[in-house]
């Protein structure tokens, strides 16, 4: 039981980690295809990621010590499933207590979510669910048959044709059950109102800030790791690798410079682009307004890391202002908007720069 709980935690941790990695592009796609980021659909996609890792953790882990494995063969008789069911019901007592029947039920249930996600998230039907269930199950069984593709000298878990059948059945059942979900909530089709401008909310502004920080963090890690790999394997300078100063500088300079170029060229940061926001109406010339946009946000914070570290007084004050002002300024425009006199509008509102207003007869659509 403890192993099962641990495997569940591993699946949740891996799904959450990949969810963070994919969060910014997911937000961008959501705003372009549906016009907003919906909490329910976000949780569904996160559940799909966790489920994907659960399939692998529960079918392959824990990986055994190569010196302790026992080589097994393959079960290629499809009627073995029928015999297991017959034996379970023929045995005295509750058949659901029989290990063979419990394993069969677990194999079916494990793939029910796959069929559900195929219909709700991909908008596909039973045939696609059947193919997806069979394909994923075959990949898992082949991985076991090959000893995790050669990591082990032989298979330590059975390749079972019966598992292929029950897994595929589970996917089909999940797809059929997903018919209960309203058709309007299924699939990845573009919403008819996806291009309609929407009122700018503080939640949307904070979501843009979160995307900026995540994008900056990924770029920072990528730059630092690239420099360390280059020093280790190309330059062969072990002392510089251990010192870490060059990698640390690259981790700050590279993402800050990329954000600067992006904002100077297009006027918007990664987060602004993801959630379809832009600044409009400035009392400063456009190049200076865009420079203020960069310096008043993550660009300025990152630039101030170089001389005195992130917890230097100037960086700390700017960071605090970046966190507080979106809650206290109109439309959450923050420090860049206060300094430049700009206001936030939906990027789909056109070039006029006027903030969109919701129709009087209808409540405005909910935003992130």
Query: What is the band of 32 on the pLDDT scale with cuts at 50, 70, 90?
Result: very high
- List 343's β-bridge partners, or say none: 280
Check: CB of residue 23 under 8 Å from CB of residue 214.
yes
Q: Which of 26-30, 155-159, 160-164 has the largest mean confidence?
A: 26-30
Q: What is the pLDDT of residue 305?
A: 66
For 91, what's the count of Cα atoms within 13 Å in the CB-facing half-sphere? Answer: 15
Short-list 37, 41, 19, 38, CA closest to 27: 37
Which of 66 and 224 is assigned the larger pLDDT? 224
Q: Would the pLDDT of 1 be above 60? A: no
Q: Which of 10-14, 77-81, 272-276, 307-311 has the largest mean confidence?
A: 272-276
Q: What is the pLDDT of residue 5?
A: 79
Q: Would the pLDDT of 185 be above 90? A: no
Q: What is the pLDDT of residue 179?
A: 94
Q: Would the pLDDT of 224 be above 90? A: yes
CA distance linking residue 72 with residue 127, whole number of Å: 33
Average pLDDT over residues 217-224: 95
DSSP string, 38-105: -HHHHHHHHHHHHHHHHHHHHHHPSPPPTTT-----EE--TTHHHHHHHHHHHSSS-GGGSHHHHHHH
Q: Would the pLDDT of 282 be above 60? A: yes
- Using N-to-C axis directions, what is the helix angle for 161-177 and 80-90, rounded to 10°? 80
Q: What is the pLDDT of residue 188?
A: 75
Query: What is the band of 262 on the pLDDT scale with cuts at 50, 70, 90?
Result: very high
Helix (H) or strand (E) holding 149: helix 147-150
Query: What is the band of 143 on the pLDDT scale with cuts at 50, 70, 90?
Result: very high
Average pLDDT over residues 36-43: 89
Q: Would the pLDDT of 123 be above 50? A: yes
DSSP string, 199-258: ---HHHHHHHHHHHHHHHHHHHHHHHHHHHHIIIIII--HHHHHH-HHHHHHHHHHHHHH
Which residue shows structure tokens 């079916």?
A: 108
Mean pLDDT of the chain: 85
Average pLDDT over residues 70-96: 80
Total length of the chain:
368
Q: What percent of the chain has pLDDT over 90?
A: 42
Short-list 273, 351, 263, CA closest to 302: 263
Q: Would the pLDDT of 48 be above 50? A: yes
Which residue shows structure tokens 């034996």?
A: 87
- Over its C-alpha atoms, the chain yields an Rg (Å, rounded) of 27
Query: What is the band of 91 on the pLDDT scale with cuts at 50, 70, 90?
Result: confident
| Phi, psi of 145, rounded to the nearest 5 degrees | -65, -35
Helix (H) or strand (E) holding 349: none
Average pLDDT over residues 120-134: 94
For residue range 316-368, list pLDDT tens digits in order: 788 888 888 888 887 788 888 888 888 889 998 864 444 443 433 334 444 44
CA distance linking residue 63 with residue 46, whole number of Å: 25
Average pLDDT over residues 75-96: 79
- List 74's β-bridge partners, or say none: 159
DSSP 21: H
Which residue shows structure tokens 């970046």?
A: 322
| Phi, psi of 174, rounded to the nearest 5 degrees | -65, -40
């Amino acid at each position: 039981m403890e192993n099962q709980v641990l495997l569940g935690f591993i699946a949740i941790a891996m799904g959450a980690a990949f969810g963070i990695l994919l969060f910014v592009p997911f937000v961008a796609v959501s705003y372009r295809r549906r016009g907003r980021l919906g909490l329910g659909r976000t949780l569904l996609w996160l559940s799909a990621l966790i489920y994907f890792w659960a399939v692998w953790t529960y079918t392959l882990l824990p990986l055994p010590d190569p010196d302790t494995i026992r080589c097994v063969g393959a079960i290629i008789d499809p009627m073995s499933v029928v015999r297991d069911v017959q034996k379970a019901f023929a045995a005295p007592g509750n058949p659901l207590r029989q290990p063979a029947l419990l394993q069969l039920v677990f194999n079916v249930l494990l793939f029910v979510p796959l069929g559900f996600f195929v219909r709700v998230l991909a908008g596909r039907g039973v045939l696609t669910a059947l193919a997806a269930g069979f394909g994923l199950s075959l990949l898992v069984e082949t991985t076991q048959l090959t000893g995790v593709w050669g990591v082990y000298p032989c298979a330590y878990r059975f390749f079972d044709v019966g598992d292929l059948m029950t897994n595929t059945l589970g996917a089909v059942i999940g797809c059929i059950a997903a018919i209960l979900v309203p058709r309007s909530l299924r699939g990845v089709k573009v919403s008819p109102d996806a291009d309609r401008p929407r009122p700018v909310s503080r939640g949307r502004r904070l979501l843009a800030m979160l995307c900026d920080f995540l994008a900056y963090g990924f770029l920072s890690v990528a730059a630092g790791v690239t420099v360390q790999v280059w020093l280790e394997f190309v330059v062969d300078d072990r002392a510089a690798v251990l010192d870490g100063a060059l990698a640390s500088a690259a981790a700050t300079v590279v993402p800050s410079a990329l954000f600067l170029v992006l904002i100077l060229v297009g006027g918007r940061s990664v987060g602004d682009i993801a959630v379809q926001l832009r600044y409009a109406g400035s009392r400063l010339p456009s190049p200076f307004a865009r420079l203020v946009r960069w310096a008043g946000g993550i660009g300025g914070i990152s630039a101030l890391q170089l001389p005195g570290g992130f917890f230097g007084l100037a960086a700390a004050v700017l960071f605090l202002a970046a966190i507080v002002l979106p809650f206290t300024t109109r439309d959450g425009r923050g420090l860049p908007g206060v300094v430049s006199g700009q206001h936030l509008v939906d990027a789909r509102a056109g070039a006029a720069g006027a903030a969109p207003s919701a129709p009087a007869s209808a409540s405005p659509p909910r935003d992130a």
